[in-house]
A = this chain, B = another copy of it.
């Protein structure tokens, strides 16, 4: 059986000191989770059996890597988020546009759907919500730092409410990703439009 031999290979890798764990099996497992969630499977209903079957590995391979389903789900979310974006550090406006654009693209829309499928689970289980936040926090910290830099170098108002501004940049973006809340807001040029509107203000 393929399943058993993949298991065995993974076992041998773990036992050999300094050898990396089987990255292909890891990727297949994570991808299986994301596929199942994106297909509308609720996190609640998602089973390790189904993940194992789809990834073509044994359940034992999954349990050797992740202690439980929650840990696996969180890793899948973190993987989908991709690497942390790095601001160029010149114009605060341009850095914010880059960070918002990194939140709003096809991959993130897919991610929004997956997160939507995770929500019932996240809201039911405080410990899972905490892990989820620990994946998100480094990302929002990057945006927080750009905003602080803007206040310090005078690009932004001295009395700016950093936390509220963070929410004003992320909230519309998350809502579009998850719900396509306002289909009348075009995707083309979204990040520039949002950042400039937040900077400029709506008052006459």
Contacts and interface: CB of A to CB of B under 8 A. Distances in A.
Residue from A44, A158, A198, A203 having most chain B Cβ neighbours under 10 A? A203
Q: How many chain copies? A: 2
A164 B120 contact: no
Interface in A144-166: 150, 154-158, 160-161, 163-166
Interface stretch (A17-25, A62-70, A174-182): A174-182
B185 A181 contact: no
B120 A202 contact: no
B178 A163 contact: no
A167 interface: yes
Contacts of A198: 168, 198, 201-202
Given A123-B116, A199-B202, A171 B161 contact: no
A150 B163 CA distance: 27
Interface residues of A, number: 50
Given A117-B119, A199-B203, A202-B198, A170 B161 contact: no
B120 A161 contact: no
Contact of A157 (B116, B156, B204): B204
Among A160, A166, A181, A202, max chain B CB count under 10 A is at A202
Interface of A: 40, 42, 44-45, 113, 116-117, 119-120, 122-124, 140, 150, 154-158, 160-161, 163-168, 170-176, 178-179, 181-182, 184-185, 193-194, 197-204
28 contacts: A40-B123, A40-B124, A44-B45, A45-B45, A116-B119, A117-B123, A119-B119, A140-B182, A156-B202, A157-B201, A157-B202, A164-B172, A165-B197, A167-B176, A168-B168, A168-B172, A168-B197, A171-B174, A174-B175, A174-B179, A174-B181, A175-B175, A198-B198, A198-B201, A198-B202, A199-B202, A199-B203, A200-B203
